[in-house]
Amino acid sequence: MKEKVEAALNQIRPALQADGGDVVLVDVKDGIVTVKLTGHCAGCPMSTMTLKNGIERILKSQVPGVKEVVPV
């Protein structure tokens, strides 16, 4: 599952990088994906929205078994 999550994140990454941020996969365990937002995303007030409405939604649709995405 970790490889599929990383592949999906690679599709999301260019949009985050265009805004000066990025996402790093920390762990995948029992359907819970742990990520770290870096760059401008780390301190952005919209980061929770990006995480839940963007990253989590895309991962759930592309990788069966993903239950939730949580930040470090």
Q: Domain containing 46 — which CATH number?
A: 3.30.300.130
Closest CA to 4 of 71, 62, 47: 62
Domain that holds residue 27: 2-71
Task: Please report, as a single letter, which amino acid is at residue 35.
Answer: V
Model pTM score: 0.91
**How far, CA to CA in Å, does 20 sit from each of 3, 37, 65?**
24, 11, 30
The 10s digit of each residue's pLDDT in 51-70 is: 999 999 999 999 999 999 99
What is the predicted pLDDT for the residue at 43? 83
Number of domains in the chain: 1
